[in-house]
Amino acid sequence: MDLQTLTYIVVGASFALYIGIAFWARASTTGEFYAAGRGIHPVANGMATAADWMSAASFISMAGLIAFKGYDASVFLMGWTGGYVLLAMLLAPYLRKFGKFTVPEFIGDRFYSSTARIVAVICLIVASITYVIGQMKGVGVAFSRFLEVDATTGLLIGTVIVFLYAVQGGMKGITYTQIAQYCVLIVAYTIPAVFISLELTGNVLPQIGLFSEHTASGMPLLAKLDQVVQELGFTQYTAQDGGTLNILLYTLSLMIGTAGLPHVIIRFFTVPKVADARWSAGWALVFIALLYTVAPGVGAMARLNLTDTIYPNGPQAEALAYDERPDWFKNWETTGLLTFEDKNGDGRIQYYNDAATPGEGNLIDPAWAGNELTVDRDIMVLANPEIAQLPNWVIAIVAAGGLAAALSTAAGLLMAISSAVSHDLLKGTFMPDMSEKGELLAARVSMGVAIAIAAWLGLNPPGFAAQTVALAFGLAASSIFPALMMGIFSTRINNVGATTGMLAGLLVTILYIFTFKGWFFIPGTNMLDNTTANHFLGIAPEAFGAVGALVNFAVAYFVSQATKEPPKEIRELVESIRVPKGAGAAVDH
């Protein structure tokens, strides 16, 4: 069976499964729509949380980052998994014990302020919308290659699928759909990794294969990769390139950004008991580790396979003739995500680091006129099975996995947006007398509107779309996470302090990211080149969320100290959240 037909069958079957689950688990009450009736088992919730978290960024982009950045990309592994430890230990159990439906609802009640609740809604919507753009790109990339439709058509198909199961099922339908999506994406990620590890190292486990001998050369795999990339003028794969402070803040920003992302937090409102929230986070770490421990091997092996394709006899020999390029190369060229420009007119694919010049290091081709191959890093995981010449059924499963990863996180983000609009803005602030039936209708309508906006942004991405994930984490880290931490662990932070802290953290982070990404023009500066030398203390924009969080904490503390302390009942409420007794109980609506 040809690849396209097989892919249509596998992807179509997965879509039918998602829609069937949504209609089976259709939400009939607001409790089911917002929190799945609080009846999800911790193991099932851990699996759904893993799918919710492992977005297109994890499935598609992370291994691509590791493939091209090497050691420096380890910040994503450490930061994203570390964030779950923070969730498990510092946030999830206490938020579940508080017994609310949404993050803004907790902030509004804890800081006894509708203004704080509205500010939290704004932070949530901005972070979630920016994050969902990346998921839409992942849907477009997967569709454009494997189903051979243009990215626009693919994105619209994905939008319709999300609409069908998210609007019908709410959190209840999304939860069971995400369990199915986790099974699809983990199988899709693991099978090709096992095949490629066996081919390159003889080890069935990629985690071990990464540190094993490269079969063809007899060298350790990482040593072989270091040799190859250095011969092409690139930085040593296993060497640290970024500054220590930047790496530290980048990791911290990803950690607290993870712990502050609302679509992840609301998953812990779906379990029956407070203790279950902690177990859910633990199980989520287990399920995430099944992919995250494989990702370094996938990235390293993909980079080695790519260079071996271009230089089949090694970088010191002639590059591959363009007319002899393999089928996978031609397939990805049609998407525009892999391009070749014959700068020296020799008909061969010269793949060197543009920062180097002939005569430096191991660059040996005197006719070299610059790098001629451009590879979008987002294609590495999806193209890896084709590069390794794996069977068509493996490639079809990878396509389904990439779509599952993007759709699962998109649904979670849209759920967070929908509940914030219907429950926090309409029911909680502007229309408190709304009936449950009216609120459920408002939730479904707001979900539909959010999906339409996400689709439009996916079709017409803003200028900063390439950095939306970094922006989303920076916003969550600098605005939502500090407010939650102070709301749980401090009785002195009041409504004025929390609100000004969130606004200060949010604004300083947006200002820094937009400035150093060149989205703001400042006369007399040279920000557009985005070099480390221009950054404050060498801190990259993607790492600034941690600094924004510190600003949030500081402003909230000093403003609270200068203003009236919270009422006695609020201080007692904060103390009661952290009391160990009754750990199995929660204050539900």
Tell me the pLDDT tens digit for each residue of 435-451: 988 988 998 898 888 88
- State pTM to two decimals: 0.84
Angstrom distance (rounded) from CA 128 to CA 412: 9
Closest to 271 measured CA to CA, from 97, 107, 389: 97
In a domain, 583, yes or no: no
- Structure confidence at residue 361 as a pLDDT band (50, 70, 90): very low
- Structure confidence at residue 209 as a pLDDT band (50, 70, 90): very high
Q: How far is CA 386 from CA 205, 225, 394, in A?
A: 20, 20, 9
Total domain count, the chain: 2
| Averaged pLDDT, 291-305 | 92
- Structure confidence at residue 466 as a pLDDT band (50, 70, 90): very low
Q: Is the domain of 226 the same as that of 194? A: yes
pLDDT attached to residue 461: 66
Rg (CA), the chain: 24
DSSP 126-194: HHHHHHHHHHHHHHHHHHHHHS---HHHHHHHHHHHHHHHHHHHHHHHHHHHHHHHHHHHHHHHHHHHH
Question: What would the pLDDT profile of 392-423 be if each residue is shown by its tens digit?
Answer: 888 888 888 888 887 888 888 888 888 889 99
Question: What would the pLDDT profile of 478-523 be if each residue is shown by its tens digit?
Answer: 999 999 999 999 999 999 999 999 999 999 998 888 787 665 444 4
Ranges 120-129, 173-182, 482-491, 565-574: which has the least confidence: 120-129
pLDDT for 465 beyond 80: no
DSSP 194-237: HHHHHHHHS-S-HHHHTTSB-TTTSSBHHHHHHHHHHHTTPPPT
Q: Who wins on pLDDT, 472 or 482?
A: 482
In a domain, 68, yes or no: yes
Average pLDDT, the chain: 84
Q: Is the domain of 216 the same as that of 278? A: yes
pLDDT attached to residue 204: 94
Q: Is the domain of 279 the same as that of 320? A: no
Instruction: Provide the domain limits for residue 333.
Output: 307-385
Residue type, position 252, single letter:
L
- Structure confidence at residue 128 as a pLDDT band (50, 70, 90): confident
pLDDT attached to residue 25: 85
Q: Is the domain of 265 the same as that of 360? A: no
127 in Cβ contact with 409 (< 8 Å): no
Q: Is the domain of 463 the same as that of 545? A: yes
pLDDT for 362 beyond 70: no
- Structure confidence at residue 363 as a pLDDT band (50, 70, 90): low
112 in Cβ contact with 570 (< 8 Å): yes
Q: Is the domain of 206 the same as that of 335? A: no
Q: Is the domain of 132 the same as that of 204? A: yes
In a domain, 589, yes or no: no
Q: Is the domain of 450 the same as that of 435? A: yes
Q: How many residues are given for the chain? A: 589
pLDDT for 225 beyond 80: yes
In a domain, 588, yes or no: no
- Structure confidence at residue 383 as a pLDDT band (50, 70, 90): confident
- Structure confidence at residue 205 as a pLDDT band (50, 70, 90): very high
Question: What would the pLDDT profile of 60-81 be if each residue is shown by its tens digit?
Answer: 778 888 888 888 888 888 888 8
Token representation of residue 274: 């407070």
pLDDT for 531 beyond 60: no
| Averaged pLDDT, 136-149 | 70
Q: Is the domain of 119 the same as that of 207? A: yes
Q: Is the domain of 422 the same as that of 447? A: yes
Question: What would the pLDDT profile of 6-42 be if each residue is shown by its tens digit?
Answer: 888 988 898 889 888 888 888 888 888 888 888 999 9
In a domain, 586, yes or no: no
Neighbours of 504 (CB within 10 A): 21
pLDDT attached to residue 200: 94
Angstrom distance (rounded) from CA 473 to CA 51: 18
Three-state secondary structure string covering 453-476: HHHHHHHCCCCCHHHHHHHHHHHH
pLDDT for 220 beyond 90: yes
Q: Is the domain of 226 the same as that of 324? A: no
pLDDT attached to residue 500: 96
Q: Which of 366, 385, 404 is the last residue of a domain?
A: 385
pLDDT attached to residue 299: 92
pLDDT attached to residue 405: 81
Angstrom distance (rounded) from CA 476 to CA 549: 9
254 in Cβ contact with 546 (< 8 Å): no
213 φ, ψ (degrees, to nearest 5): -80, 140
In a domain, 195, yes or no: yes
pLDDT attached to residue 580: 53
Q: Is the domain of 266 the same as that of 314? A: no
User: Percentage of residues in the chain with pLDDT exceeding 70?
Assistant: 89
In a domain, 545, yes or no: yes
- Structure confidence at residue 44 as a pLDDT band (50, 70, 90): very high
Q: Which of 335, 367, 385 is the last residue of a domain?
A: 385
Q: Which of 385, 405, 439 is the last residue of a domain?
A: 385
Query: Looking at residue 172, which CATH number applies to its domain?
Result: 1.20.1730.10
